[in-house]
Structure formats: structure tokens, C-alpha cells
Amino acid sequence: MSTLISDPDLAHVLGTADVDDLGVLIDHITDKGDGRISLSSETSKKLMSAKASGSMDETIRALIAEELQRFGGNTLFNIARGGTGVPYKELLCDVASHVKATFNPKDDCAQIEIAILEAVLAQSMVKMSEQDKADLFAEFGATYKPGAGPAVMAALQAAIKASGFGAFKLAAVVANAVAKAILGRGLAFGATAGLMRSISVFAGPIGWAITAIWTVFDLGSPAYRVTVPCVIQIAYMRQKAAYRSCPACKAPVEVGKKFCGECGTPLSLRLPAN
């Protein structure tokens, strides 16, 4: 874990993240290298150079955290804090409020991130056909029953919680769709590609629906064009860190489990967490 990242809510997720996932954060922060008014050109060049070389040392990971925190506060507030920006938890709650997520500020970061993902998904369901909704529910092991919006979303949230790796599926589908909408490309899954293939709705109409509603969350200040997609990417990275793949069927398996929940294969303790 990087000791240079002072914010404990970012330290583990950024300190142990895959290079490709950090590259997505860098693209969001730097606007794919085009730069942003509130980001120094020197910092933008440094981050893009690290992305191009694949050299994500502790200094770069700490710089990503620092710049994300800076975008989380307005200029005057950052000056009052000595230019250090806001803690990630504060930034996270601001994003949750912005996307109208239902959350408790006292919850931990992972819970608030899931609430944000669910808010994005709830908006996207408006764009889905009845068949799309049925497919989405089936992905989480539930049966779709047409009804009022709030009741449908409540049922889906219950299915996500009950699913063995529902939070991971949710994070992967939403983060990939958002990356496509903003960066013009999906995520590079690398070692977890097998996990992605197990998600049947991953590249289908559900992902397109999320892309279609993205502008709903992109109408605020320029800072939200950084903080909202970055929080969604970090939510995915946090969930990804909690799972590994079964060596037999490649299904996601929660770290610490002794057997695969899909095929029953014993999981060796030697297998690293993805």
C-alpha cells in the first residue's frame, strides 16, 4: 500500500490498483490529456506520461489522490485548506447528493459508492425496454415484475444485495458504460476478463441505457465532470479488489472464500486476489 496517500479512504484502493484502472482515472482527471482549467499543465503532463509508460509508482498514485481531492472542493474552499482539497469521504457525499442517491453520510465509502451506482442504474432503467429490465433482474438472480418505478428499483436493490457478487457486477457494468460515454472506450479488464464474460448484460442494452442517460449527471459545475466519473471508477476498483476469479469456471469469488459458489471448485490459498 502506498504510504504517500494520506487519505485512508483512498490509500488502499489507489495504492493497490491495476495500472489500467489508474489510467482511466488519469483520463478523467486530465480530460484525456487535453487538460482542464483548474489542473496545471505540468501535472497533466506528468500524469499522462505515467499512463503512457505504465509507471504508476507511489508518487503518481498520491498525485492522483491529491488532484481528485482538489476537484472535490471549490477554489476558495481549497485555499482555506491550504490547497489540499477535500477528503474523499466529503467528495463522495457531495457526488452522492449531486446524482440524488439515497445514502447515509455515516455509512462507509463502499456503501455510499454503491448508492451512487444504484442511482445511475435507476436513471438508466427509464431508457430500458421491459425485456432489458427482465434481463437485468435475471443477471442478479431475480424475476422482474412490472410495476411502479420505486418498487421496481427497491426489488432490484434487494436482488443486488442477495446476489453473491452483485455489487461487483453493478460496479463493472456502470463503470464500463460511463468510461465508454466519456472517454470513448470501455475498461481494460486484464486478469479479470473472465469475470466480465460471466456478466451476460455487460455489453448489451443495459450498458447502452447507462450511456444514454449520462448527460443527466453532467450538467453541473466542471468539477462534477471529474468527480462523478472518478467516484464511479473508484467504486469499481474497490469492488474489484474484493474479488478473485475461480481457476476452473472464472466466476468471481469473494476473497477469503474456500470454494467457488458457481462450480464448487476448492480455492487454493495461493491464488492472489485480482
3-state secondary structure of 75: helix
**Which residues are within 8 A (CB) of 35 and not within 5 positions of it... i.e. 6 or more apart?**
41, 44
Higher pLDDT, 176 or 255: 176
Dist. CA 249–CA 165, nearest whole Å = 15
Higher pLDDT, 61 or 245: 61
Asked if 12 and 56 sit in the same domain, the reply is: yes
Asked if 192 and 257 sit in the same domain, the reply is: no
pLDDT for 270 = 38
pLDDT for 223 = 84
Task: Give me the domain span that covers residue 272.
Answer: 244-274
Dist. CA 152–CA 60, nearest whole Å = 42
pLDDT tens digits for range 40-94: 899 999 999 999 999 999 999 999 999 999 888 754 455 455 556 889 999 999 9
Asked if 225 and 248 sit in the same domain, the reply is: no
Strand runs labelled E in the chain: 243-245, 252-254
User: Sign of torsion, CA 141 144 145 149?
Assistant: positive
Asked if 148 and 24 sit in the same domain, the reply is: yes
Q: What is the mean pLDDT of residues 102-126?
A: 92
Asked if 220 and 250 sit in the same domain, the reply is: no
Q: What is the mean pLDDT of residues 129-155?
A: 85
DSSP at 259: B
Dist. CA 71–CA 89, nearest whole Å = 13
